[in-house]
Amino acid sequence: MLSEKTIAIVKEITPLVAANAETVTRVFYQKMFAGNPEVKAFFNQAHQHSGGQQKALAGAICSYFTHIDNLAALTPAVELIAQKHCSLGIQPEQYPIVGKHLLAAIQEVMGEAATEEILAAVGEAYQLLADVCIEREQQIYAEQRAENGGWNGYRSFVVDRKEPESDVITSFYLKPADGADIPAWQPGQYITVRIDHPTTPTSPRNYSLSNQSGSDHFRISVKREPGLTADAPAGLISTYLHDEVQVGDTLEIGPPCGEFTLDTAQPVTTPVVLLAGGVGVTPLLSMAKSLIAAQPDVPLYFLQAARNSQTHAFAEEIQDLRSAGANVRTLTLYDQPLADDLENQNCDDQGVVTEKLLRDWTPFEQAAFYFCGPKPFMQNVYASLKSLNVPADRVHFEFFGPRQDIESARLDEEPEVSVSH
């Protein structure tokens, strides 16, 4: 537990830290990469280039400081961090590196305002959070090892099949090179792919599992990513997977991780609504298949948004859900249909997810909502659910970016909605 003095100091400096948080995190990453360049292997440099990583860390710091006297409120955030860290193989000895450079960044940005007393309080607060994360991560590592077929670190898998799902998404079916078992996983989880890129060293990537547990393989479905900004190159690893990795090749894979899950082993007592934008369909397809297999009578609503038939993945698999479950409804929306998409019934309607659609098509007053997709899609869905007064405990989403970008969205901002990613 933190001392009362430390809590008081942290709460007192929170407004100042919040006002300078992104500056602090930019300086932090600069110092850490210069002083400990070995840690760059854990960070996606494209997200550094876009500023997303700095913004996400700034939001996490502000949230921690704000809730310094109510750490229970941070439990979901700690779980997200711990799962991500375990997917990358983060170890306890790496935490002091972060702490050292974070304190140095705060001292540099705050200047004389960062007194020894303040730095000591921040250091104590950081160490408490580090201890909480380390403890949870050790639990996760132990759970991974204990699973039948489980492991820590990386394991060699062979690409057994490679199948295009659309013009931009390709599925990879991965089997363990040693022929041994693979562990069960929770629908919604992801695995980590580590690639020794021939020209550009880069961090491992997380890809959601797009099939259900219980088979002898993993399936990931990867979108060929464009550059995050106009002056940035196309996605390094997604392009490599699409163009260079072939059937018979070997990839290094980390065990399933992630907290965006639907526990189908427990009785599901409410209708479930899955809202998928673009390649965000992958974890939701796993959830849908798993729920139908375990509890086929649960009312399930699956909405898939895509740009058009060229980018629409898993059309047949999602339509098959309706014959697999007793109470399954599906809806496919295109926001930029091709000339013959509507005539050929490639989609059910043209448009985007709106508050009215969710009000009319879903049992929003009882349902649990799970959604994943590109930022504009998720902003729109989140704002719509908020306008419908769906309580937070029935709203679940996964977003690989600053969470505040989703939670700050408002319907009156009229986001430009795209579902291509």
Profile the chain (421 residues) by mean pLDDT over runs of 10 residues.
93 93 94 94 73 83 92 91 95 96 95 95 96 97 97 98 97 98 97 90 92 96 80 80 97 97 96 97 98 96 97 95 92 96 95 96 98 94 96 91 68 38 28
Q: Has 278 been labeled as part of a binding site?
A: yes
- Residue 116 known to be catalytic: no
- Residue 95 known to be catalytic: yes
Q: Has 384 been labeled as part of a binding site?
A: no
pTM for this one?
0.92
Please report, in angstroms and rounded to a whole number, the separation of the first and last CA atoms in the chain: 43
What's the confidence (pLDDT) of residue 417?
34
Catalytic residue among 137, 165, 259, 398: 137
Tell me the residue length of the chain: 421
What's the confidence (pLDDT) of residue 352?
94
Q: How many CB atoms lie under 10 A from the CB of residue 342? A: 14
Catalytic residue among 29, 64, 95, 301: 95
Beta pairing, strands 272-277 & 250-257: unpaired
Cβ atoms 272, 367 nearer than 8 A: yes
Cβ-based neighbours of 32, under 8 Å, separated by 6 or more: 39, 97, 98, 101
- Written as six digits, the tokens of 77 are 């955030």
The full set of domains in the chain, from first to last, is 4-146 (1.10.490.10), 155-257 (2.40.30.10), 272-413 (3.40.50.80)
How far is C-alpha 147 from the chain's CA centre?
23
What's the confidence (pLDDT) of residue 248?
98
Q: Has 399 been labeled as part of a binding site?
A: yes
Cβ-based neighbours of 180, under 8 Å, separated by 6 or more: 149
Collapsing DSSP to helix, strand or coil, 248 comes out as: coil
Q: Has 122 been labeled as part of a binding site?
A: no
Q: Has 218 been labeled as part of a binding site?
A: no
